[in-house]
Structure 1
Amino acid sequence: MNPIVRNILAVLAGIVVGSIVNMGIIQLGPSVIPQPEGVDNSTMESLAATMHLFETKHFIVPFLAHALGTLVGAFIAAKIAVSHKMRFALGLGVFFLLGGIAAVFMLPAPMWYNVTDLVLAYIPMAYLGGKMAVKKA
C-alpha cells in the first residue's frame, strides 16, 4: 500500500476508533455513576443548562472518556502509520485537544475540571499511546 495512503488511513482510523471509545464510555457512564436528577445529556444545550447540578464524581466519566479515547486513537494511528509514528500519535492528541477546547467554550464546567481535562487527557495520553505502539512494533 502507498505509504501516504496508509498514513492518511492511520489518521482516519485513529479518529474513528478514538471517537467510538470516547462515545462508548460517555454512553455507559450514567450506568456506573448515575447523573443528577433532571439532567438530560442528549444535546449540548440541555447538558449546559443542567451542568450546575453536577458534583465532582460526575466529571470522572467524561475525563476517562477523553483520556481513553485519545489514548486508543493515538495508539491506532501510530500502529498503522508507516513512518513518524509518534508525530501521528501526537497529531491525534492535538485533534482531540481541539475538541476539548471547543467543549470548554460550549459547556459551563468548573475551571478545575477544564484545566485537568485539557492538561492531562489529550497530549499526555497521545504520547503514552504513541509510546505503547512504538514499543510493541
Structure 2
Amino acid sequence: MLKNILAVFAGIIVGSICIWGVETLNHLLHPFPKGIKPDDMEGFKNYIETLPFLGKFMVIVGYALGAVVSGFIATKISKDGKPTAALICRIIFLVFTIYNMTVLPIPIWFWVLGILVWTLVLAGYKLALNKNK
C-alpha cells in the first residue's frame, strides 16, 4: 500500500516536471506580454485567447509527455504489474486539467484533446511492463 502511494506521488511529481518543462519552452517561444503580473488573471486569460494554435497545442504536448512519464514512473515504482497507480495519476491530472479548462478561455479542440491525452498514462504503464521483460 505504501509503495503504491509513493508510486502515485512520484508519478505526479515527475509528470508535472515534464509538463513544466514543455510549458517553459512554450513560454520562450510565445512569451507573456510585457507588464503582465503573476496574479493578473484577466491578463493571463487575454494571453491565452491571443496565443496561436502552436502555443496551445504545445500545452497538449506537455500533457502527453507528462501522462506517459507519470504512468511509466508510477508503474515502475509500484512493481505490482497493475495499472492502478498509473490510473490514479490519470485521475489527479485530469481533475487539474478540467479545472484549468473551466477557468481559461480555450477552444473546444483543446477540451477534447485535454481530456483524451490523459489516457496516455496507459502507454507509460505498458512501456514500464515491457521494460520488465
| Class of the TM-score when normalised by the shorter of the 2 chains | 0.7 to 0.9
Q: 1:92 aligns with which of 86, 89, 97?
A: 89
The 3 A distance-change label for structure 1 pair 36 and 82 is closer
Residue by residue over 1:11-45, the C-alpha shift from the partner in whole angstroms, topping out at 9 and shown as x without a partner, is: 111111111111111112233x3347559584571
Q: Does residue 5 in structure 1 map to residue 2 in structure 2?
A: yes
What is the distance in 1 between the residues matched to 2:34 and 2:96?
26
SS at match of 2:83: helix
Does the CA contact (< 8 Å) of 2:19 and 2:65 recur in 1? yes
Structure 2 unmatched ranges of 5 or more: none
Residue by residue over 1:79-108, the C-alpha shift from the partner in whole angstroms, topping out at 9 and shown as x without a partner, is: 110325312112211211111111111111
Moved more, 41-50 or 94-103: 41-50
What is the distance in 1 between the residues matched to 2:40 and 2:85?
30
Please report the RMSD computed on the Cα atoms of aligned residues, expressed in angstroms. 2.1
Count of equivalent residues: 131
What is the distance in 2 between the residues matched to 1:64 and 1:108?
18
Structure 1 unmatched ranges of 5 or more: none
Identity within the alignment, %: 29
Structure 1 ranges of 4+ moved more than 6 A:
none
Does the CA contact (< 8 Å) of 2:81 and 2:129 recur in 1? no
The 3 A distance-change label for structure 1 pair 40 and 117 is farther
**1:74 counterpart letter in structure 2:** G
TM-superposed CA distance for 1:115, in Å, is: 1.2
TM-superposed CA distance for 1:69, in Å, is: 0.9
Does the CA contact (< 8 Å) of 2:33 and 2:47 recur in 1? no
**1:113 counterpart letter in structure 2:** F
**Equivalent residue for 1:34?**
30
Does the CA contact (< 8 Å) of 1:40 and 1:50 recur in 2? no
